[in-house]
Structure formats: structure tokens, C-alpha cells
Amino acid sequence: MTGDQVRDSFLQFFRERGHTVVPSAPLLPENDPSLLFVNAGMVPFKQVFLGKDTRPYVRAVDSQKCLRISGKHNDLEQVGRDTYHHTFFEMLGNWSFGDYYKREAITWAWELLTKVWKLPKDKLYATVHTTDDEAAELWPQVTDLPRERVLRFDAENFWEMAETGPCGPCSEIHIDIGPEACDRRHDATHVCAVNAGCARYIELWNLVFIQYNRDEHGTLSDLPAKHVDTGMGFERVASVLQGVRSNYEIDILRGIIAAVERLSGKRYRADEKHDVSMQVITDHSRAVTFLIADGVLPSNEGRGYVLRRLLRRAARHGKLLGLDKPFLWEMVGAVVQAMGRAYPEIAKQHERIADVVRAEEERFVTTLDRGLALLAGEVERARTAGSRTLPGQVAFRLYDTHGFPLDLTEDIVRGEGLEVDREGFDREMEAQRTRARGAQGFADAGGAPEAIVSSGLATRFVGDRIVEWDSEVLALLADGKETRGPVATGTAVDVVTAETPFYAESGGQVGDRGWLETDAGARVEVADTHKLAPTVIAHRGTVREGAIAVGDRVHRRIDGERRDAARLNHSATHLLHAALRHRLGEHVKQAGSLVTPDRLRFDFHHHQPVGTEALAEIEDEVNGYIRANAEVQTEELSYADAIKAGALAFFGEKYGDRVTVIRMGDFSTELCGGTHVRRTGDIGVLKIRSEGGVAAGVRRVEAASGEGALELIRQREEVLRNVSTLLRGPAEEAAGKLERLLGQQRELEKRIAELQGKLAGGASRDVLADARRVDGITVLATRVEGLDDKGLRDMADRLRDRMKSGVVVLGAAEGERALLLAAVTRDLTDRYHAGKIIAHLAPLVGGKGGGRPDFAQAGGKDPSRLDEALAAAYDFLGAGSN
Ligand code: ATP
Ligand code: MG
């Protein structure tokens, strides 16, 4: 069964039993401040359990997106290191809201697992709460699970979603997937058992009997009704059904791993260290894709910071695989490919998600190297000092200047056998908060020293049209700390001056870049200009020559070209805003914007997609305004007068008494402090790149103007040209040709599938002639050609059916891979164990593997030794060593 089929068959089973199929809720819980993310299927139904909300049904079934990376359920440390914990995963669940209870829940769970899915009954265990006699009695009564495999536990069998909320006793179903799966063999004190924490006994399904609410004081009270809340790990059950040993090998995740293999040029299962990195990247790519699809953007707090942490951790594991350039954005495509059918929200937003990931990666990639180098030095130093702790200050410096989240540093040093001094880190963090207090309004990490903020310093912006200006240095920060200087070459500085022509980032327009030069010849390269406090403008950059000190006179030069390009895009944003309001309605209000030299981005409130046609009209309208070549007038008014004059105010911006109004012809009037063109014609042309949703009720238009617009058009032409070259025909015919090709491909795929079926059918008849009698049973170990994983499985099934009783071992070479498979008919599984046969043979072809008693598979790197391995099968079985 493919993953999609497993999910469908679960939904179908409960639909047939009167359950309404409901779609997954978003990852962000609605109106629930107690939780950052949905961490279990029950979260969206919390209010129903509490009796505060109702649904039009009393039975439901779903597959819910979950994220376990914060709060009570945080699995981050295990992720990538074990085979069955993810940050993001799907939880299959069936629900009773005051309807059926324990009896039905247990009966159906057993029926689905053992009758429909045919899991081996003798490998299953149930657990119940120490006090739950009712459930303990029901198991042997309504199922054929023997009493001795019903175990009692205390804490493990009481489920709660968080410190507060609905909860109750639960009954879990675990499966024993065989001793070779244990991942704690190095631990002498470990004994494999249910709830012993190794990968051999896996918890599949939790049936929770919700009957209490826990309040803030920890007190339990009875709920108005009793409910059933079940949660089954989709990836875990799929791995059991697909007979693979790890969640990462189910079809859905294997596809994503394959993308990591492609990007890194490394093979999965070739090196344990790399496997961890590949698994982390695979896991995090999914979490990141779904988080962004549900409206989270990277930031320094709350949900946004969780996203940032995941991205940075994944980026660092990429480094371990030798991936030096941004690559995660390419993983988004693999996730969409694997899961877009079941979750269309990721398919629809594919491009936007990739853009967000890429921007964040680019931000981090440069500081990652520096941070890693610093960390390597510090680890070395701790080692030589014989210490096993990394000082809190070091972790803080990595966090503060290199953007290393604490858990990233911990993840890295854990691999070196070190721990981070968390208390020390917290102390540094607290100290910084104290320093930053009072610096409200200054959003950037690092905080502005209080002295500067409270000193009453003020910088005057000398105006939009001026690109060079002399002024005096009033204050300096070196590496974020206040100083009077001189500050030497190579240091990161913030330079505050009395006056400046540099535009400081605000209203969505990015800050200016350029150079500061002192009379004595010192030069500072300014990478960004921003506000330290509402009236204090700082030039942020690096001293490139000489030294700079408070009191120096500096001459300033802006990167004029960059400023001019930003100017075009900023004025174009105003025109776009006007055209959107005109076409879509007055409810269209700006929700945010970004203006850089290359492009513009405009977010606005509107409840549905704009549509291709309307978008083209809007683009036409803006270009009409541009061609009108209207004068752009700047006027200073009191805020009240400006609003009276019909000016549009920016979202979330605070205005002083006097405001600047930008007027363009009679089509646009806005309050704005940004830089603008003189006449609309200076913009040249506007080209819209894309339109899409960013959050509920918020749309985003991305566009470019001036030379940027031309560049965009050229890029698109280039894409089309490449496509038509590949299709060997003129661009006009490309779409038709492609459609025909895709049709042909579907046709061919169908034929191949048919042929493979025939091949396997025919072949199974022939090969049976090779069977031998070993120890009184029929054994067939043979090589078959031209079959893939699935073909091999089909063939084994067929052979098993035809033999009635016996053991089949099949081998095939697929490119550079060897495939091995063993199947044992049910009547013989007490004598022969397919998993063990495979575990014995796989090493001969350079692989590893194992599996269930009746069926097991493995892959290996050395197909040249396949025949040898198959011959060994007869010896192994004959020797009775099973
Ligand atoms: P475990 O003890 O294995 O961490 P749990 O007790 O935390 O599981 P529940 O909270 O009962 O699990 O969640 C219901 C089901 O969801 C589990 O039975 C399991 O199959 C699955 N599950 C739980 N956590 C994860 C995870 N991090 N990744 C994948 N599946 C999970
Ligand atoms: Mg858990």
C-alpha cells in the first residue's frame, strides 16, 4: 500500500462506520494561547470536548497535521536520530463526541489493524492505565488479544495535550517489529520491552478516553460528556504496512530523502552520520513547508522563531553533507511532490514557500560559516581545558551575532560530547534584555544602548534629493557596544550623525547603502541605514580603512543608483495601491510592503484571489498612470489636515503631528516618508510578477519597475525560449506540444505497468521450476531481471500463493543497487523468519535489512555478489540456523 492508500483506507474504514471525514485543521491553533502549534489530532476539537462548542456530527475521522517541537510534546532532540519521531507528522484519528466509548473504540481499532490491514496479531500489545479495569477487561473480551499481552502503566497511559485542557486515561497499541530493530543495543542496562524506549516496540495508536479537564491549578474535573480521541502515527503505521524498518523509508519520505541524495550526491544508508543529517533535512523540510503554507514567516519570536530554528538547523546539517549553497528551498518541491495531493495548500503556494525559505537561507549562509569556525575554536579550547561544558557566553555570542539559536549550538556540541551551560546563556540573555529595555521601537537584535536612546540625540534627514552631505559623528557603537572610539579597521560599527542624506529603513523601503569618509582618510562602508530609536538614525557597516571616533566630521556618499532604483519601486507601490483600490474596492488596505532596489512587494487586505484578468487590468491601469507622467508633489501638513485631504495612512505606522503627504496626479495621495520619483513617467514600466495569499484575508502582489521590470520580462522570455528549444519548436506551439507529450507519457506508464504485471506473472510460472526441497520444505532462491521493488513484491506474493507452503528468496539488480526479498508462507513462520533470512543475506550484497517473520526486504550496494547471496540462502535454510 502506498502512503496515500494507507491514509485513504483509514478514512474509508471509519466512514463506513458512520464517521464524517473532516479535513486537517491548520497547524496554528485558532484562539488558543495555551499552545504554539497543533500537537495532536484533538487540539482542533478542544472546545467541543469542553462542551463550549458543537459540531453537526458526533463521529468524525481525519488525518491531522501535527508539530511537536515546543511545550509538553517536544520531540526535537530525537528527530533524525531515531527512526520514528518527527517534528511534523500526520496523526490519523477517529472521534466520538459523547457518542460511542471504549468498547467500540477498541473493537474497531483491532479490526482495522488485524482484519483489514492484516498486521500479525502475535506481535501486537495493548496497554491500559493502572486504574482502568474496564479497558483491561474489554481487550480480551471484544478482541482475540490474549490477556497476558494487555499491560498496565501509569504515567504513560494518561494523556494530556498541555498543562491544561481535556485529558484522560488511554489505551495504546504497540507492535514488536523484531529484535534487530532495537537501537539501544550498546546500552547494557537496556531490555527490549513495551515502553522501554527503543525502536523495537513501537507505539502505533493511542486510544484516549477523554473524561476530564485539567485547570490552571492542576485540578481534574469531570467533563459534561465522555469522548473518544484516538491518534495513530501515520508514518509509523505506513512503515509497518510497507514492511520497511524506518519511517524514513516509507514511500512519502523516501521521495524526499531522494531529493537530499540528489542535491548532496550522497547515498542514504551509506554512512550513519550522514543518515542523521539526511533525516533531519527530510523532516525539517516538511515542517518548514507546512509552517509557511499555514502563514508562519521566519522571525525572532514565537512561531516565527520556531520556523527560523528549524531552517537554521537544517541548513547546518546541509553543511555536514557538503552543501555550501542555499539548497533547502529546492527541498520544498520534493515535499510538494510527495504530499501535495493530500494537502493542496502546499502545492498552491509552492513558489512562495520556496521564496521565503531561500531568503532566510541566504540570510544565514554567510554567518553560518563564521559561527561554525568560532564554535570549532571554542570546542577545542574547552577540550584542552578538560571541560565538558561550552560557556554560556559563547553560546550567547553565537546567538547574538551569528544568529545561532540555542538549540542549534546544543545540537552541534552534543555531537562533540559537550553540553552548553544553559544557565550562563540565560544570564547573558537577561543582561541583554536589561540593556535593551527602554529601547522600544528598535526592532533589530542587539538592542540600542540606553545611553543613546535617552540622551535626546536626534538625526535630521536632509532630504530625498541629496546624495552627499557633511556632518559630525555624535555617537558610535562598535560590535553593538557604545564607545567614543577610535574604532579600528575591520570593526562592525553603527555611526550616528547630526544630519544625514541616508534614508533609514521604514515604511517598507530598505535603508540606503554607501560610504562615510573622514577628513583623515578613514572609510566606513555602510551596508544598511536604520533607526536606533525614532529620532536616531544609524549607519550600519564596517570600518574599511583607518579609524573613526566621536567628533569626527564625515563626508557621506549614498549609493545613488541603488537609491534611485528603490525610488522607482516605492512610487510604483503607491500607484499599485491606487489601482488595486480602484479595481477591487475601497476595502483594499495596505497590510505591509517591501521596497528594495530590485523589486516591490505589496500586501493588502482582500478575501479572494485577484484573478489573472483583473490582475492584467490592474497592471494596465498602473502603466496608464505612469504614462500620464504626472508630477509627484511632496507636502508637509498636520496629520488632521492630511487625513481631511484624503491621504491614505500606512498600516501600523505611528505618525507625528506634522506628516509628509505624497501626491501623484489626481490618482494617489498617501502619507509617506519614503523617497520618490519626480514624475510618474520616471518609473518607466511596471510588471507584476505574482499574486497570492499570505495569511487569511491578506493577499500579496510582487512586481518590478523600471529596469527591474525589463529584467523580469527577459527572464520569462528566457524560460520560454529554453522550453521551446527543448521541445524543438516555436514558442507559440510549446504548450500544445507539451500537452501531447504528457499524454503520451501517461499512456506509456500505463503500458509499462501492464507489461511488468505480465512479466511477473509469466516469470513466476517459469522460475518455480528451480525450487528445491530443503529440510522437507520447498525453497526457491532465484534471481529475476527487470523488476523494480514493487514488481518484486508482486512476484513474491504470487509465488507464495502458488507454492502454498514454502520459502521464497528473490534477488534483482536495479542499476547499481541489489534488491533482496524473502517471503515465508504463514504456516512456516514459526520455523523460518523472513527478517532473519534477509538480515543474514543482505551483508553479502553490501546492505542491511530485516523485517517481519513473513516478509522482509533489503537493498545493497553490490549487485555483483547477488548470485552468491542467493546460493547462500539454500545453505542458510538447510543449516537450520533459522
Ligand atoms: P511516543 O511515546 O512514541 O513519543 P506519544 O506517547 O508521545 O508517542 P501520543 O501523544 O499518544 O504519542 O500520539 C499519538 C500517536 O502519534 C502515537 O501513538 C504515535 O504513533 C504518533 N506520534 C507521536 N509522536 C510522534 C512523532 N514525534 N512523530 C511521529 N509520530 C508520532
Ligand atoms: Mg512522545
| pLDDT tens for each residue of 332-361 | 999 999 999 999 999 988 988 998 899 889
Atom 30 (ligand 1): residue with closest C-alpha? 233
Q: 599 Cβ partners below 8 Å, 6+ apart?
A: 569, 689, 702, 703, 704, 708
CB-CB contact of 372 with 365 (8 Å): no
What is the mean predicted confidence (pLDDT) over 376-403?
Answer: 91
What is the mean predicted confidence (pLDDT) over 737-763?
Answer: 83
Which one has a higher pLDDT value, 645 or 522? Answer: 522
* Chain-centroid distance, C-alpha 682: 41
Counts for the chain of helices (H) and strands (E), in that order: 23, 35
What is the mean predicted confidence (pLDDT) over 172-201?
Answer: 93
What is the mean predicted confidence (pLDDT) over 779-807?
Answer: 86
Q: Flag the least confident range among 213-227, 588-602, 646-660, 691-705.
A: 646-660
Q: Is pLDDT at 650 greater than 60 in this prediction?
A: no
529-550 tens-digit pLDDT: 988 877 788 999 999 999 999 8
Atom 5 (ligand 1): residue with closest C-alpha? 203
* Chain-centroid distance, C-alpha 347: 14
Q: What is the band of 295 on the pLDDT scale with cuts at 50, 70, 90?
A: confident
- The SS3 call for residue 403 is coil
Q: Is 156 in the pocket of ligand 1 (CB under 6 A)?
A: no
Q: With DSSP H G I counted as helix, E B as strand and the rest as coil, what are the percentages for the chain, rounded to 5?
A: 40, 25, 30
Q: Which of 72, 86, 91 should be mutated for ligand 1, with most atoms under 8 A from CB?
A: 91
Give the pLDDT score at 765.
Answer: 65
Q: How far apart are CA 35 and CA 749, in angstroms?
A: 46
Q: Flag the least confident range among 72-76, 168-172, 808-812.
A: 72-76
Q: 8 Cβ partners below 8 Å, 6+ apart?
A: none
DSSP state letter for 416: T
Q: Is 91 in the pocket of ligand 1 (CB under 6 A)?
A: yes
Look up the pTM and report it. Answer: 0.56
- The pLDDT > 70 percentage for the chain reads 95
Q: 263 Cβ partners below 8 Å, 6+ apart?
A: 323, 327, 330, 331
Q: Is 392 in the pocket of ligand 1 (CB under 6 A)?
A: no
**Highest mean pLDDT of the ranges 223-237, 703-717, 848-862, 863-877:** 223-237
Q: How far apart are CA 290 and CA 283, in angstroms?
A: 11
Which one has a higher pLDDT value, 368 or 460? Answer: 368
Atom 16 (ligand 1): residue with closest C-alpha? 233
Q: Is pLDDT at 438 greater than 50 in this prediction?
A: no
CB-CB contact of 235 with 250 (8 Å): yes
Q: Categorise residue 488: left if φ over 0, alpha if ψ from -120 to 50, beta otherwise.
A: beta
667-725 tens-digit pLDDT: 998 888 788 898 999 999 999 999 998 877 789 999 999 999 999 999 999 999 989 88
> What cell was used for 458?
536626534
Question: Nearest Cα to 128, choosing from 147, 113, 115?
Answer: 147
Atom 23 (ligand 1): residue with closest C-alpha? 233
What is the average pLDDT score of the chain?
A: 88
What is the mean predicted confidence (pLDDT) over 833-842?
Answer: 93
306 C-alpha to center of ligand 2: Å? 18
* Chain-centroid distance, C-alpha 637: 47
Give the pLDDT score at 580.
Answer: 94
Q: Categorise residue 71: left if φ over 0, alpha if ψ from -120 to 50, beta otherwise.
A: left
Give the pLDDT score at 700.
Answer: 93
Question: Nearest Cα to 826, choosing from 270, 1, 120, 35?
Answer: 120
CB-CB contact of 870 with 877 (8 Å): no
Q: Is pLDDT at 782 greater than 50 in this prediction?
A: yes
86 C-alpha to center of ligand 2: Å? 10
